[in-house]
Structure 1
Amino acid sequence: MVEPVILDPSGRDVQGEAAALRDSGPATPVVLPGGLGAWAVTRQETLKRLLADPAVSKDARQHWSAWRAGEVPDDWPLHLWVSVRNMFTAYGGEHRRLRALVARAFTARRTEASRPVVKAIADGLLDRLEAGPAEVDLRAGYAHPLPIEVICGLFGIPDAARSGLREAVDIVFDTTTTPEAAVANQHRLYALLHDLVEDKRRSPGDDLASGLIAVRDEDGGRLSEAELIDTLILVVAAGHETTVNLLDHAITALLTHPDQRRRVEAGEFTWGDVVEETLRWQAPVANLPLRYAVRDVAVGDETIARGEAILAGYAAAGRDPDVHGPTADAFDVTRADKSHLAFGYGVHHCLGAPLARLEATIALPALFARFPDLRLAVDETELVPVASFISNGHRELPVVLR
């Protein structure tokens, strides 16, 4: 058996680590924070097959041997990723029940109806940037607030709660978090959402959180209180983190590939092409915890035994040379095949993917039209990644606007 690879919790070289794991085989044993083991699956076709396989579950309570044996401590930094009770960690019929309750929030009609809202938020943020200094952190000033405003608007999360939720979600994605900080943050996050739910029970609105609360209160068999809170955690976290990193990397790609930027702005290629190539080139979620083998699963020459954990290597799969050839590491908006797994695959494919694409295809052209002289304020090599092997973005994106 291959010696397990200890994952770098700081995420200082997500793509380098991804390449090394991919080169070691279709499934590689890894060590997660806290010393817990898993299998990293990093090749696109292999990962695609496993994501669609009913022999692979996301329910730790049923199918992770370490969880069932009591080997996962309460202060494990990734505890919330596997302990929440929502569609993200459900399997089979439970997953279908929970997903159906959230799916109506992300129908094609509702997503398209969000277009003017997204445009208004983008324009407001750009107005604020235009009125401020020429040099700014574009992640903090644009890439981050835009999706959080969109998702919080959809679910009726009041302005007063947004900054606290955003900070708590950032810590959930920070895989350098100490066990003590992770536990404290989990308590804080649950307290914030319990307060939100109680406020909405007293004063319901025409929003999706109020709708879920009504389902819970009218028929507890369809949605328990724990599932209600954990579903809100999921939509707030997943509803913005992926899009933040997508915008961050798309902006970086165009600023460091001026010829491709010119061709996009000239209409030779679409902003949709930019979005799909960015998702392939820099998957916003590099590695997603966790899945579990319901029974023994053969992967190449290895066998993932029943009850063992699986880490989905989306960043590695996006740059798989077996799919994208010798130029897989290069950002190339002209690439014919931009296939990726950045939003997952199979029954757990991200419900919010169309909304993320809509946000990006509005936010990116609006930014570059408003600031045609936009450029990085530092060399690309000076951009620092976020402290995570899960989230794939930059801590800051310093630019000169004009």
Structure 2
Amino acid sequence: MAEDTLGQDFPMQRQCPFEPPKEYERLRAEQPISRVRMPDGTPAWLVTLHEDVRTVLASPAFSSDLAHPGMPAVNPEIRTIARQQRPPFSRMDPPEHSFFRRMLIPEFTVKRTKTLRAGIQSVVDGLIDDLLRKSPPVDLVDEFALPVPSLVICQLLGVPYSRHEFFQQQARVILSRQSTREQVGAGFTALRAYLDTLVEEKLHTPGDDLTSRLATEHLEPTGELCRQDLVASCMLLLTAGHETTSHMISLGVTALLEHPDQLAALQNDLTLLPEAVEELLRYLSIADYVPSRVALEDVVIGGTVIRAGEGVVPLLAAADWDPKVFDNPGTLDIHRGNRRHVAFGYGVHQCIGQHLARTELEVAFSTLFTRIPTLQIAAPSDELDYDHDGMLFGLHELPVTW
């Protein structure tokens, strides 16, 4: 049983951008469930084994409610703001969460995502056309990794792309561990105000987009949704829909360029693309500690008693590098064929946009490395500007040449 004493401070920083923090390996081996101190000084439990992480994420004994008093928070300001307003559906528990998921899931099925592939391909082709007209080196984050998911999610929600820079800036502020309460609050307020205006526009002039369908089918005339919930759902999809995929594109490109044997294998056989994307999702696990939880009752996980009201952080990166599940987890292997990773979470709160994200990554990687086969990083990978302060791990900039 883990000792009921506070250990080290959390979060821990990656020493190598392509590896979880070194402490995770030791914790998995010596103390797979351990106590840490969160940034606001409160205690929480870290869970590091793949089996235990999935157990926590799938168990109804743990709540996702960000406003719960025991919920651990890397950025306490987000938790404070969450207590002042209704949370997005990703931070609700069943049955409320189930209602929203049933309503939204038809928009994100494998079948629905396939119908979006041509549009995603068009977005990617256009951005690469623009990229090739520039003189290298260029920043792949600003010129490609951010615009791809921004354009796609804006099209999906019916948001004018002219507003994408506004959304990206607000998302960065909200997700940064360094943001103050005032900054996070201002970001939420600005996004909510714009999306509320957008909903009003869609009610009067609906289009072929998700916001229009939610507004006209579930807000009016049925009244299934209140306006606040609709705005919150759109805000979650908009911010989560571009930030995560953007980081995966830039980090995935970097990882493949740093592993030329894997890149060569992919370029020689594009049928490996789906497995390559799964392996990059596992290998990078950029949303490591996003799915925090709080115990609703006393529960035993891995022989450790977690009391009701105590916070828990199931570490996705630690689970995805568990050698009991993944042989040689520190090796990037696009032939691995093991899809048991938890990069999208697990259980009823598993990422609703995972099929869309996979499609965006497949199109982005295949098109980029096919059209620019000589792509290379214009700086040593260990000198790149990595985002260690956000809720998601990623890159601020990625200078490339060809």
Q: Is the 8 A contact 2:50 2:319 kept in 1?
A: yes
Q: 2:20 aligns with which of 11, 15, 18?
A: 15
Partner of 1:271: 273
Q: 1:29 aligns with which of 35, 51, 66?
A: 35
Partner of 2:176: 174
Superposed, 1:285-296 pairs within 5 Å as 285-296=287-298
Q: CA deviation at 1:19?
A: 3.7
Partner of 1:192: 194
Instruction: Supply the AA of the counterpart residue of 2:195.
Output: L
Q: Is the 8 A contact 1:86 1:98 kept in 2?
A: no
Instruction: Report the secondary structure of 1:360's partner residue.
Output: helix
Q: 2:8 aligns with which of 5, 30, 39?
A: 5
For 1:251 and 1:110, how far apart are their aligned partners in 2?
Answer: 26
Q: Is the 8 A contact 1:42 1:316 kept in 2?
A: yes
Instruction: Supply the AA of the counterpart residue of 2:314.
Output: A
Partner of 1:373: 374
Alignment RMSD, CA only?
2.4
Partner of 2:320: 318
Q: Is the 8 A contact 1:296 1:304 kept in 2?
A: yes
For 2:59 and 2:66, how far apart are their aligned partners in 1?
Answer: 16
For 1:10 and 1:201, how far apart are their aligned partners in 2?
Answer: 45
For 2:355 and 2:185, how far apart are their aligned partners in 1?
Answer: 33
Instruction: Supply the AA of the counterpart residue of 2:10.
Output: L
For 1:259 and 1:59, how far apart are their aligned partners in 2?
Answer: 43
Q: CA deviation at 1:229?
A: 1.2
Partner of 2:360: 359
Instruction: Supply the AA of the counterpart residue of 1:224.
Output: C
TM-score by length of 1: 0.90
Distance 1:65 1:134, change over 3 A: closer
Q: CA deviation at 1:21?
A: 4.7
Superposed, 1:2-401 pairs within 5 Å as 2-8=5-11, 15-16=20-21, 17-19=23-25, 21-23=27-29, 25-60=31-66, 64-66=68-70, 76-79=77-80, 84-214=86-216, 215-220=218-223, 222-267=224-269, 270-325=272-327, 327-388=328-389, 390-400=391-401
For 2:316 and 2:256, how far apart are their aligned partners in 1?
Answer: 22
- Consecutive unaligned residues of structure 1, counting only runs of 5 or more, are none
- Consecutive unaligned residues of structure 2, counting only runs of 5 or more, are none
Moved more, 1-10 or 87-96: 1-10
Q: Is the 8 A contact 2:6 2:43 kept in 1?
A: no
Q: Spell out, residue by residue over 1:238-287, the C-alpha distance to the aligned partner (whole angstroms, 9 max, x if none).
A: 21222112212221111011111111111186111211111111012121
For 2:109 and 2:355, how far apart are their aligned partners in 1?
Answer: 9
For 1:81 and 1:117, how far apart are their aligned partners in 2?
Answer: 35
Instruction: Supply the AA of the counterpart residue of 1:329.
Output: G
For 1:243 and 1:7, how far apart are their aligned partners in 2?
Answer: 25
Q: CA deviation at 1:79?
A: 4.2
TM-score by length of 2: 0.90
For 2:25 and 2:174, how far apart are their aligned partners in 1?
Answer: 25
Q: CA deviation at 1:81?
A: 6.5
- Over the matched positions of the two proteins, sequence identity in percent amounts to 33
Q: Which has the higher contact order (CA 8 A, sep 6+)?
A: 1
Moved more, 205-214 or 125-134: 205-214
For 1:76 and 1:99, how far apart are their aligned partners in 2?
Answer: 26
Distance 1:267 1:289, change over 3 A: closer
Q: CA deviation at 1:75?
A: 7.2
Distance 1:312 1:140, change over 3 A: farther
Q: Spell out, residue by residue over 1:200-230, the C-alpha distance to the aligned partner (whole angstroms, 9 max, x if none).
A: 233222211011112113233x212221111
Q: CA deviation at 1:121?
A: 0.2
